[in-house]
């Protein structure tokens, strides 16, 4: 029997598994079955917490999308990880350091119950996103079904493409998101953000996630939108990003600086399942 918890960060939902005290290996097929919202647990991502792989971190953190593919990063998931390891007694620390496929993250559980995540320095060079463009630009161009779109691109440990729209309510998220996440410009795919700038410190955002589809919230997507908005001289350092599931606070001083994200993480239930 496998022990797990169901958690969410602003409606972006996860199956969280303790791989420290349980020995577990997931196949892609098992993850797809578990992620089925009618016949399984149902989730956007499965989070697997493992013992540290290096001496200066507390845990290793792996993320699998509902399609079974392992991905590099998940900001909402990182906040849930921090709450999970505390509640399950895997650590008593309030400041937690974890490694991922793309580096190290510092997490802090705050007194108000929110979780702060140091997301590191956003990567803007096309080869690091990765994006098939020769030079780094503030605005890139892509054509979908004969229509040209401007976008910004950044890696927050995973690739993001951010389009500015007049109104997120009327944005064609499914069609454009599906086309862009598989576009040849993005050799590893990308998460596609649709950003409506309300004020210099306020964004409304919808995200089509690679391997998942549109989600209630995307932590790295919120970070990416704040970065692109600031690079395009439309946003201030501290930004509230409103997603369908709620809002996050993003603080990014600018190019070459580390970005911090703050928001909630909630338990839904705990359970056991046979694989």
Tokens of 90: 């895997």
- Nearest residue to 10 (alpha-carbon basis) of 208, 202, 246: 246
From residue 8, give the alpha-carbon distance in Å to each of 16, 62, 142, 151, 216: 10, 16, 33, 29, 10
Helix axes 219-231, 75-87, angle to 10 degrees: 140
**How big is the CA angle at 239 (ends 236 and 245), to the nearest 5 degrees?**
155
Sequence-ordered strand ranges (E) for the chain: 2-9, 12-18, 45-50, 59-65, 70-71, 95-100, 103-109, 115-120, 140-144, 147-155, 159-164, 191-199, 202-209, 213-215, 238-243, 246-251, 259-263, 266-273
Which residues are annotated as catalytic? Answer: 74, 218
132 φψ region: left (φ > 0), alpha (ψ -120 to 50), beta (else): beta
Sequence-ordered strand ranges (E) for 110-220: 115-120, 140-144, 147-155, 159-164, 191-199, 202-209, 213-215
Tokens of 258: 């580390």
Q: How far apart are CA 255 and CA 65, in angstroms?
A: 29
Instruction: Please report, in range form, the residues annotated as the binding site for substrate.
Output: 12, 45, 65, 75-76, 158, 191, 209-210, 219-220
Instruction: Please report, in range form, the residues annotated as the binding site.
Output: 12, 45, 65, 75-76, 158, 191, 209-210, 219-220
Tokens of 196: 């409506």
């Amino acid at each position: 029997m496998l022990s797990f918890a169901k958690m969410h960060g602003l409606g972006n939902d996860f199956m969280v598994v303790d791989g420290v005290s349980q020995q577990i290996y997931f196949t892609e097929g098992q993850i797809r079955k578990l992620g089925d919202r009618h016949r399984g647990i149902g989730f956007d991502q499965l989070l697997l917490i493992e013992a540290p792989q290096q001496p200066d971190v507390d845990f290793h953190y792996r993320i699998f999308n509902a399609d079974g593919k392992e991905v590099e990063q998940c900001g909402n998931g990182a906040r849930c990880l921090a709450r999970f390891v505390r509640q399950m007694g895997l650590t008593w620390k309030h400041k937690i350091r974890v490694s991922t496929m793309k580096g190290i993250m510092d997490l802090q559980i705050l007194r108000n119950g929110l979780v702060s995540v140091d997301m590191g320095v956003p990567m803007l060079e096309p080869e690091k996103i990765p994006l098939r463009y020769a030079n780094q630009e503030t605005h890139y161009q892509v054509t979908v079904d004969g229509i040209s779109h401007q976008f910004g691109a950044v890696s927050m440990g995973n690739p993001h493409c951010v389009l500015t729209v007049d109104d997120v309510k009327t944005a064609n998220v499914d069609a454009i998101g599906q086309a862009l996440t598989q576009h040849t410009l993005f050799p590893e795919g990308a998460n596609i953000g649709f950003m409506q700038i309300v004020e210099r410190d306020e964004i409304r955002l919808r995200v089509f996630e690679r391997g998942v589809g549109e989600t209630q919230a995307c932590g790295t997507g919120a970070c990416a939108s704040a970065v692109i908005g600031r690079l395009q001289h439309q946003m201030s350092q501290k930004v509230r990003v409103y997603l369908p599931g709620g809002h996050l606070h993003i603080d990014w001083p600018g190019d070459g600086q580390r970005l911090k994200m703050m928001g909630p993480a909630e338990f839904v239930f705990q359970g056991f399942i046979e694989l």
